[in-house]
Chains A and B, each alone.
Chain A
Amino acid sequence: MTALNALNGSNALTVRVEPAAGLRVAAVTAALATLPLSYREAGRDAEVVVVSGEPGWDERVRAAARTGARGVLVKDPVPLPTAATLQAEVPDCVIVLAETWASHPLLRSAAEQFAEPIGRAHLIDARSVEPATGRSLRAVLFAQLRAVQNLGIGVVSLAIAAETPSSILGVGRSASGARIALSAARSDTSDGSLDLLLVGRAETIRLALSDSGAVRPGRAMLTSEADAHELPTAWQSPLRTSLLALHDALSTGTPTDQLREFTEAAVLLDPGAGPSAG
């Protein structure tokens, strides 16, 4: 009976996409369409609610929880220094963040399989290019920082070293003392990807992560003294990965712990701060 339920999708969670400015509903709908056994679109009483991560997203989460949602997916959340306390406010609701690069499936694989060399890196250099009509460059830097965190790197300091109308540079340190450099620049040639280079004494790791809506795979390569190891590609967008993570969390009862590091990142990269020493 269970197998039949799975086949006809009756184990699927009901989901509602809450229309909002800044939320690309079509992209979410398209991702949900690739998960017909996990999700089934429903109306007001849905078990899962997808909300926009535009300012005020914490209130949207609270509102969804009040209507009985068991899970909320926050699409592209903006920095929120008070996010860490949100989960305690809605204890019966699982919150999962769907972030531009931080939710990329390759990042989790790299964090697991390259954990030791990541810990030995002395330099973490993140670079991306943002289209003219894209996010603010500080928002891009925040997304880079979140990707670095999701590699398992504890970031203890970060400061904006330079900021121009066309580019931005942030520098800091990891808990292990590695230099962290994050930079973003504007150009219409942007393909939305993030280029991450980690350099250690005897290894380098390079990751290319496609943007949140793309199914185009990323690439992760560890090079050591004698060989190289490339992780298998995953033809899955970060958004689909987040939807699956939410489904798994609700199915298994496993809590998520994204909000703590998200909050740390928001505090590190204070959106209101000006350039400081690097």
Chain B
Amino acid sequence: MPAFLLAAAAILGLFLPQWLGGAATSALVVIAIFAIMAYGLDIVLSDLGEVSLAHTVFFATGAYATGLLATRTGFGAWGTLLGAMLAAAVIALLLGLLTLRLREFVFSLVTYAAAVVAAAVAHNWNFLGGSDGIVGIPTFDLSLGPLVLVARNDAELWPYAYAALLLVLWFVARFRRSRLGLVAVMAHLNPRLATMSGVDIARTRLAVFVLSAPVTALAGWLYAYQRAYVGPDLFESYFLVLMLTAVVLVGKRLLPGPLLGMALVLGQEKFLSFGGDVDAIILGLALILVLCFVPGGLVGAIRPLLRRLRPAPTH
């Protein structure tokens, strides 16, 4: 797509809430936030080929850092943004160093265990608000000098969530074309070739893992302001299954994939809900069925149909 078309589409997206009406606004904001969350996991799962189950921790870390800094030290949104991303990167670095030499399921097992333990800690540690969490997070305020940038409700938050989403899309696209992104894919698909080409696989994995954490933490930062509350429910396995489903539903290594996947899942939950329990079953089933029967994702399933519709090329 030519650059100007992309730019035009990007600008049009800003007015989506006006077109879709008031009810859609909060859904759009949440889709943008959770899509950002999924993109962090996307580069680990799709490019590196590892299943990190600790991304809920990075999401919650972003939200908790925001909540703590905003309510206890009076940091503004810029300060909490920096704090959220930094805190997630530090935790990712520690977890990454710990799992540096672990592969496949042992890596996933440790990241999963880390997520469960983090949830237990958040429930019990008074410093983090315990089971009550942190309430009274102030209004989102990114004002710079005379420039007033405040968001008091979902409609006002949309431009910021949308801008953050575009930024993350740009970042993931750039990452995929960067040396690190290419090396990550090589280390995933052909580790022997990567080693022979002088690639330090362990370092590559660590770099991608640490890089992915602040992306997911960015979503946590926005979510803390959107809900004005941070609590241990952020560690719920719901978020993990949500992220995984968004990443695999439409098709792996497809730039708009996680965004579209998240829009499909949350669209169902917001506008076609059958109650929390049935929605949980639907979400889990979507994840299972796609991986077991449509490994290429929805795009992979549609592609052969499209090809059949098109007339066969003449040679």
A, B co-complexed: no
A residues touching B (Cβ–Cβ < 8 Å)? none
